[in-house]
Amino acid sequence: MKIAVCVKQIPDPAAPAKMDANYNLARDTKLIMDESDSYGVEMALQLVDKAGAGEVVLFSMAPGEEVSGLRNALAMGAHRAVLISDPRLAGSDALSTAKVLAKAIGRESFDLVLAATESSDGYTGTTPVQIAELLDLPSVTFAKGIEVKGESLIVARQTEAGFDEIEVPTPALVTVTAGVVEPRYPNFKGIMAAKSKPVEKLSIDDLAFSPDSVGASGARETITSIRPAESRGAGTVVVDEGDGFAKIIEYLESLKVI
């Protein structure tokens, strides 16, 4: 089973975020693997393990030839990676990103393309389905489980009420919900082995894009303004004077929870 996994390398969410003049997230700091992508990597590794043979190939578009996030996924067990890095890609919107990733993925044939439901920095959640459209693949979103059944996949698609069971023919693109599998620890041998796993580096010329079709000049979305998220209120402090339980009940009743 051959699986492509989209892996985004993002600025460390633990560090304060910086914006550039065009309201884009500054990506000149050290980048790490987006945690939401670790679930896709894990699911891909499990599917290949179960199939008994196959390959997990990572695809990432990142500035500055950044590979540290990819190395992490390679250390988990992915076989190789493809990195698209080109200064002319700066300012790409979700569609440009999808075009680039789709073209890179489309150079080979895969049984399955996995991605996170959304990235932890951009949160558009649109790139995966755009990739599917560009590659002419069926797509299923919000997967909490994937099983192979012959030439098809049975995908448990998370819903508010529970989950739908969807059968989809391969090749297909599936987005994986965060938290549905436990991403494995990269063990030390995996970490050392990752050092020598192949990372193919591509520019937009390698993918035959004209510079005005991608990056800031190709973007159809522009960010016109940004503002900080409203900070959460301080909350109400209730002092327990022996009647704490009654106050809790009163509060829950006011919310109509009970």
Partner 1 sequence: MQTKIPESLLTIRSQERQMLYQMVARFTKEYIVPNIEGWEDQGEVPRSLHKKAAELGILSVGFPQNVGGIGNIIDSMIVSEAIIQSGGSSGICAALLTLGIAIPHIIASNDQYLIEKYAKPTMSGDLIGSLAITEPNAGSDVAAITTSATRDGDRFLINGAKTYITSGYRADFVVVALKTSPTLGHKGISLVVVEKGTEGFTVTRKLEKLGWHCSDTAELSFSNVIVTSKNLIGEEGSGFSAIMANFATERLSMASQALASAKRCIDLTMTWVQNRKVFGTELSKMQLTRQKLAEMQRQYTVARTFLYDTAIRYVNGEKVIMEVAMAKNTAVYAMEAIINQALQLHGGMGYMRENEIERHYRDGRIMGIGGGTNEIMNEIIAKQLQI
CB of 134 to partner 1, least distance (A): 32
CB of 31 to partner 1, least distance (A): 12
Question: Count of residues binding partner 1 (CB under 8 A)?
Answer: 14
Q: Are 54 and 60 in contact (CB under 8 A)?
A: no
Q: How crowded is residue 93: how many other Cβ atoms within 10 Å of its Cβ?
A: 22
Q: How far apart are CA 131 and CA 154, in angstroms?
A: 20
103 phi/psi in degrees, rounded to 5: -65, -40
Q: How far apart are CA 253 and CA 70, in angstroms?
A: 49
Q: How far apart are CA 36 and CA 80, in angstroms?
A: 19
Q: Which is nearer to partner 1, 12 or 167 (CB)?
A: 12
CB of 14 to partner 1, least distance (A): 12
Provide the mask over 173-202, with x wherever binding to partner 1 is found by CB under 8 A and - wherever it is not. ------------xxxxxxxx-xx-------
Which three-class secondary structure state does DSSP give residue 33?
strand
Residue with tokens 């892996």: 7
Residue with tokens 């508010």: 160
Q: Which is nearer to partner 1, 65 or 164 (CB)?
A: 65
Q: How far apart are CA 258 and CA 254, in angstroms?
A: 8
Q: Is 105 in the site for partner 1 (CB under 8 A)?
A: no
Q: Which is nearer to partner 1, 72 or 141 (CB)?
A: 72
Q: Which of 2, 27, 71, 103 binds partner 1 (CB under 8 A)?
A: 71
Q: Which of 9, 38, 72, 158 binds partner 1 (CB under 8 A)?
A: 72
Distances (CA, A) of 146 to 42, 43, 257: 12, 8, 35
Q: Which is nearer to partner 1, 188 or 245 (CB)?
A: 188
Q: Is 38 in the site for partner 1 (CB under 8 A)?
A: no
Helix, strand, coil shares of the chain as percentages rounded to 5? 30, 25, 45
Provide the mask over 137-176, with x wherever binding to partner 1 is found by CB under 8 A and - wherever it is not. ----------------------------------------
CB of 47 to partner 1, least distance (A): 21
First to last CA, the chain: 50
Q: Which is nearer to partner 1, 19 or 192 (CB)?
A: 192
Q: Which of 26, 50, 51, 68 binds partner 1 (CB under 8 A)?
A: 68
Burial of 191 (0-12, 13-18, 19+ CB in 10 A): middle
CB of 190 to partner 1, least distance (A): 8
Q: Is 222 in the site for partner 1 (CB under 8 A)?
A: no
Q: Which residues bind partner 1 (CB under 8 A)?
A: 68, 71-72, 75, 185-192, 194-195
